[in-house]
Structure 1
């Protein structure tokens, strides 16, 4: 299960009461993030129930392990490196080729606020991948139980779940 931070775990809209505000300093820049500690438990429970691995797919890269993971109760996770990429010729997001390279032929669920039909097309047509689910998260609201339910259903129905 691939996780973005901004727009997914850190919504852009007005956070609800279950979010906490943090100030993070990265490379001399101060960022304000709003994080819901319940997200960590929900993601961990889903990963355990489905035998999935959680992986950061975010421009925060390693900083997600330093600033995000401990604040929502996640352990340090693997990180998909996102070096600069030339502009897309097919409309896919800059992260998509990196995600495809990392995933290889393994099935995956990707929670991101910037995945669209172009990303799905790129993965299916240009990379020949079939076993994935892109879950578009509304960046104003962030990750919800509905998104976790979609992932659980897909992982279970497709037979990728390793859980009971």
Structure 2
């Protein structure tokens, strides 16, 4: 089974701390259930290239796991050089049962036994426990990203190493 690389936006691709010169500021007007809102995001075009390289090297499929949901394809992907990606419906409707993040049940349902790496700034031990106990969730690696710094090469290397050493890499 082809492994998955699940990617969050805020705190991962859009860090909250001091930014390097590689980041560019964007204003994104979005329509939502409560009307129109304008979000400011800071994105690094190198993130797209690095994620695509990781996916190619490991044979993994990139997937959005973010509250931006389909908006990530409209506003984030083109600004960092990613194609349209599948989107995990995460919303906020899921209740938590073990203290897990609201996105975790949606992720558990989506992966359907496929091995995955999840880059997120809000994953913790309760998410790990939820995923381990959920039927249909296979092997996974949770990569917690510091929201002040965002995704960096260490996170990508960790994912590549885990996928390769675990035998899930289908690299080309």
- The TM-score, its normalising length taken from structure 1, stands at 0.96
Two-structure CA RMSD over aligned residues (Å): 1.1
In structure 2, what is the equivalent of residue 22 of structure 1?
Answer: 26
In structure 2, what is the equivalent of residue 63 of structure 1?
Answer: 71
Match for residue 95 of structure 2 among 63, 87, 94: 87
Task: Give the aligned length.
Answer: 164
In structure 1, what is the equivalent of residue 44 of structure 2?
Answer: 36
- Range 126-135 or range 149-158, more displaced: 126-135
Q: Report the 3-state secondary structure (helix = DSSP H, G, I; strand = E; otherwise coil) of the residue aligned with 2:83.
A: coil
Match for residue 125 of structure 2 among 114, 117, 123: 117
Match for residue 8 of structure 1 among 8, 12, 34: 12
Specify every segment of 5 or more residues in structure 2 that has no aligned partner in the other structure, as ranges.
none
CA contact (8 A) 2:108 2:134 kept: no
Shift of 1:73: 0.3
Partner Cα separation in structure 2 for residue 128 and residue 52 of structure 1: 19
CA contact (8 A) 2:67 2:91 kept: no
Between structures 1 and 2, the one with greater strand share: 2
In structure 2, what is the equivalent of residue 47 of structure 1?
Answer: 55
Partner Cα separation in structure 2 for residue 129 and residue 11 of structure 1: 29
Superposed CA deviations along residues 72-121 of structure 1, whole A, max 9, x for unmatched, are 00000000012332431200000001001000110000000000010001
In structure 1, what is the equivalent of residue 161 of structure 2?
Answer: 153
Partner Cα separation in structure 2 for residue 83 and residue 145 of structure 1: 29
Partner Cα separation in structure 2 for residue 49 and residue 155 of structure 1: 10
